[in-house]
Chain A
Amino acid sequence: METLIEVKNLEFSYPGLPLFKETSLEIKKGEVFVLLGPSGSGKTTLAKLLAGLIQPKQGTVLIEGLDIFDPKVPPLKRENVFKKVGMVFQKNALFDSLNLLENITFPQKERLPERSQAERLKRAQSLLDRVGIGSFPTLFPDEISGGMQKRLGIARALALDPEILILDDPTAGLDPVTSRDIADLILELQKEKNATAFVITNDVSRATQMGDRVGLLKDESILLIGSPEEMKSSQNPAVKQFVEGLLNGPFGDYQMEVS
């Protein structure tokens, strides 16, 4: 299978907080790669680096072979690559002044000006129906529940028929039953479109459910684990500590004496 996203020797830090050092990763076309990691380890930052929203200090990110941070690449070429990237944000990032339908027509209006408004509306309604919130298209994002907001975020990410999905903690804060439904929906859609997905989470159950391949963010780089089954049987102390929630291990000592 061909490599779709390639991260090479990435280095990034916030003042006083090094996040990545010589981090490399390859994601193949059509696979679902799940990245696990404790909070504050830089998962969201990595997602935003892949989406070209922030600049790395060093290293390259290639999407379909194009170096997205190369200043010599003409902006139009870069924009065309990002047309193929859909992102679901941790905090949903829904446009709160637009209703459900407009949230999905907006990206089309900006990126596909040649498409007629009627077509955009048709597409938006069918996407809303597809994710199961099509019956109230004129409500606003803050009038629907957290689970529905997630669904809207997914529908918006699909508005431009992306080939790559970046999902930043798509089930954060949701209860397990809703989480599982959302994850199932994402998998279904990903299979339908034969898209490639990069999923970030700290929920081991979601990694098991969704991942073709699982990685763990540890020591400023990505520890590749393999399939979910390999994750569960892994003897690597860091993997073991994270998956089982052990209070001692490479991630530090969480043990406390109640004295």
Chain B
Amino acid sequence: MITFRDVHKAFGEKKVLAGLNFSVHSEEIVFLLGTSGTGKSVTLKHIVGLLRPDSGNIQIDNEDITGYSEEDFALIRKKCGYVFQHPALFDSLSVFENVAFGLRAHGELQESQIQDKVTQSLELVGLRGINEKYPHELSYGEQKRVSIARTIAPGPSYLLFDEPTTGLDPITTNAVNTLIFKLSRKLGVTSIVVSHDMGCALKIADRIIVLEAGRLAVDGNVNEIWSCSQPLVKSFLEEVRLSGVDIKRFDEENPHS
């Protein structure tokens, strides 16, 4: 469980988080929705300590991480896998070495164990036989999947996705969205997805949190969002209508996965 209590954060003059409160329960898929500049990605970076709050506190599994040092965060970061908006793969390493990087650096595993884990993670994201390729030889979609594999390899219990589908075409968007859903369920992890794609959220989220001006504006499940009358939410729903696609829930489409 992750809990934010009255978190404030400002960059210079600019207030980004202004008293943010919310919590995420285990094995949920939660979408953080909002327009640009409302502090969605900033929120995500607070969880893994890439940013520190000005005030308020953040708890992960009932541990207050607010005052943690960089070293203390090493443990939190093992528990919370972070998937960046752009793949951020290491250009000079092969796909295999990219995924193995986190496992090797900690030096706790045997080479054969690393081999197994890497292969397993790559298979989980649907990639086979590209171990020896380099990032620049892959399509954007494949790079994205490798970066997800790198994140899940150490076995985190939380997955944090930063704008995973922004700027992608509808087919790739759907593919990534599907992957997030299947992985979360399969691994039994808690996923927090920062996005401004309401369509994706409606398809796979267990809960949708809408942020506005650095605070929580709406918090509800998919049915509650559909019938919500908050202006920002309505504006997002209008976008879904414009795209003209019927929103089918994934759990209904694939009841067994």
B-binding residues in A (CB < 8 A): 37-40, 145-147, 172-178, 180, 202, 204-205, 208-209, 232, 241-247, 251, 254, 256-259
Task: Judge whether B140 and A178 touch: CB under 8 Å.
Answer: no
Contact, CB under 8 Å: B126 / A205 = no
> Contact between B245 and A244 (Cβ–Cβ < 8 Å)?
yes
Instruction: Identify A38's interface contact among B171, B232, B257, CB under 8 A.
Output: B171
Number of B residues with CB within 8 Å of any CB on chain A: 39
Residues of B close to A241: CB separation below 8 A: 171
Asked if B21 is an interface residue, CB under 8 A from chain A, the answer is: no
Determine the chain A residues whose CB is within 8 A of the CB of B173 once the complex forms: 245
Given A256-B126, A256-B175, check contact A39 B35 (CB 8 Å). no
Contact with A along B189-200 (1 / 0, CB 8 A): 000000011100
Q: Is the CB of B35 within 8 A of A251?
A: no
Complex Cα–Cα for A147 and B36 (A): 9
Instruction: State A50–B238 Cα separation when bound (angstroms).
Output: 33
For the complex, is B243 an interface residue (Cβ under 8 Å from A)? yes
Tell which of A172, A177, A178, A205 touches B167, judged by Cβ atoms closer than 8 Å: A172
Total CB contacts across the A-B interface at under 8 A: 97
The 9 closest A-B pairs by CB, nearest first: A256-B126, A245-B174, A245-B170, A205-B242, A202-B169, A258-B182, A175-B196, A176-B239, A254-B175
- Asked if residues A232 and B244 are in contact (CB atoms below 8 Å), the reply is yes
Partner of A204, one of B37, B178, B179, B244: B244
In the complex formed, the residue of B with least CB distance to A202 is B169
List B residues at the A interface (Cβ < 8 Å): 34-37, 123-126, 139-141, 166-175, 178-179, 182-183, 186, 196-198, 232, 235-236, 238-239, 242-245, 257
Which of A173, A205, A251 neighbours the largest number of chain B CB atoms within 10 Å of its CB? A205
- Rounded to whole Å, the gap between the CB of A203 and the closest CB of chain B is 8
A246 touches B171 (CB 8 A): yes
Which A residue sits closest to B246, measured CB to CB?
A244
Q: Least Cβ distance of A170 to chain B in Å?
A: 13
The residues of A that contact B232 with a CB separation of less than 8 Å are 177
Q: Which A residues are in CB contact (< 8 Å) with B141? A: 254
The verdict on A39 contacting B168 (CB below 8 Å), with A178-B35, A247-B178 known, is yes
Given A176-B239, A209-B242, also A243-B170 (CB < 8 A):
yes
Q: Which residues of A contact B198 (CB under 8 A)?
A: 176
Q: Which residues of A contact B168 (CB under 8 A)?
A: 39, 202
Closest to B183 in A: A258
